[in-house]
Amino acid sequence: MQWIVLALTVLMYVLIILLPNIKSYITLGTAIIMMILGVVGFQEAIFTMVNWNILMIFVGSLVIAELFIYSRMPARIADDIIDGSPSVGLAIVAILMMTGFISAFVENVATVLVMAPIALALSKKLKMNPTLFMVGLAVMANLQGTATLVGDPPSMIFADFAKYGFNDFFIYQGKLSIFFAVQVGMLAGALFFYAYFKKAGTGKVEIEREEIRSYFPTILLILMIAGLALASWLHSGVSLTAGLIVVVLALIGIIWYRLVRHESREVTLSMVKELDWDTVLFLIGIFIVVGAVTKVGLLEAFAKVLEQFIGQSVLLGFIVIIAVSVLISGFVDNVPYIVVMLPVAKSLATALSLKPELYMFALLIGSCLGGNLTPFGASANVVTVGILKKEGYPMKFSDWLKIGLPFTLLTTGAASLFIWFVWK
């Protein structure tokens, strides 16, 4: 049975690489085959292996993010940054940093979509090629998506596995946690872009300020953060309480959108239908497949192989986890990779008598920041390339690599050094 499960899982990964547009059908199909073969039972798969708490937080935060963007608050904040910056270069870098900060709480693609018009309009006003600015939006959004429990699915998966609450991403066992490692990487990334944009201009840019439609979505976002923080004090990990808080706030938001903003039934349904349901189905399939892989003992076998390769070298293990994660995530979706590798990373750390955070944080940083390496390493990258092509600035793989490679090496290196010195 181990060989059958291994073959099916490898085939699933290959198909995901070759056919990323139907990845949800591939993972669900593999999960169904696992159930038909009797590797896992239906009830076991649906009620034990699928983490509905993560899915509730994911869907609820998507709704709140959509409403936050609808309110035009992010655009207004960007206008204030441009208006208050002493130079064009600083304004651009500040917008990139703000994009990252928003992405720590809002889905990455949504963040890029709302910030793209601002970047394009500013570039046009400055008569500047928008390519670097737009790529900056994508890579900074991807980077900060790792910083909090609600930033990205890999962070949610990590939180559930490691039993981390929302607060644990900031301080854990009295030490600075993953949020601060990401901020170190973000500062390195900001310096990287400032080196490019510092000569963009010295004068201030006049802009037309966006009008905020409503402050209510911002209140919902703040309540979601506060609610998740409270749930962290009450329960460890991604709890049912956390999931229910986010879903209830999302439902309140939808009711507000329909009844207070008087948006039509069709528009409201359209907003809900256009949420990232494909990723929800993808996650359900991955949860079941990885549950089957774990059940038949494949992860333990893989961990033993890595233990033999690494030996007693803590530094070698750390470097291998980061390097492999960056390379794989530059080309493959990081969700199935991180689900498989989290128990392996913890097992390796335990075998070397280390705090598991050292290797698990290395895995999280490498697999999430590694997505910045290529134009298809993350969904936000794909969207950015599409927008640039539509605007008349097509990007080749090599063009992205000129920006993505040094940015990834710099930010991953900075964040990894922080993790090593704090958690070693």
Write the DSSP assignment of 34-99 as a string of letters.
HHHTTSS-HHHIIIIIS-HHHHHHHHHHHHHHHHHHHTTHHHHHHHHHHHH-SSHHHHHHHHHHHH
Lowest pLDDT segment from 213-222, 242-251, 277-286: 277-286
Residues 303-349 pLDDT 10s: 777 778 887 889 999 999 999 889 888 877 677 778 888 888 998 89
Residues 68-80 pLDDT 10s: 888 888 878 877 8
> Which pLDDT score is estimated for 176?
96
Identify the residue whose tokens are 């018009």: 117
Mean pLDDT of the chain: 87
Percent of the chain topping pLDDT 90: 37
Rounded Cα distance, 167 and 363, in Å:
20
**Range list of β-strands (E), 315-385:** none
233 versus 143: which is more confidently predicted? Answer: 143
Per-residue confidence band for 245, with pLDDT thresholds at 50, 70 and 90:
very high
Helix axis angle for 52-70 and 153-162, nearest 10°, is 140
> Which pLDDT score is estimated for 254?
96
Report whether pLDDT(229) > 70: yes
Range of the domain at 170: 2-423
Residues 21-58 pLDDT 10s: 788 899 999 999 999 998 888 888 888 888 898 889 88
Residues 349-369 pLDDT 10s: 988 889 999 999 999 999 889
Rounded Cα distance, 399 and 378, in Å:
16
> Mean pLDDT, to the nearest integer, of 226-241?
83
Per-residue confidence band for 217, with pLDDT thresholds at 50, 70 and 90:
very high
Cα–Cα distance list, 66 to 52, 58, 208, 218 (Å)? 21, 12, 23, 11
Q: Are 146 and 368 in contact (CB under 8 A)?
A: yes
Q: Domain count for the chain, please give it.
A: 1
> Which pLDDT score is estimated for 372?
92
Report whether pLDDT(246) > 80: yes
Q: Are 325 and 345 in contact (CB under 8 A)?
A: no
Identify the residue whose tokens are 């920041």: 369
141-178 burial code (b ≥16 CB/10 A, e <16):
bbbbbbbbbbbbbbbbbbbbbbebbbbbbeebeeebbb
Whole-model pTM: value is 0.81
> Which pLDDT score is estimated for 203?
61
Residue 355 tokens read as 């705090």
Chain center to CA of 104: 8
Q: Are 325 and 367 in contact (CB under 8 A)?
A: yes
Per-residue confidence band for 205, with pLDDT thresholds at 50, 70 and 90:
low
Chain center to CA of 315: 26
Three-state DSSP state, 198: coil
H helix or E strand, kind and range, residue 171 = strand 171-172
Q: Are 349 and 324 in contact (CB under 8 A)?
A: no
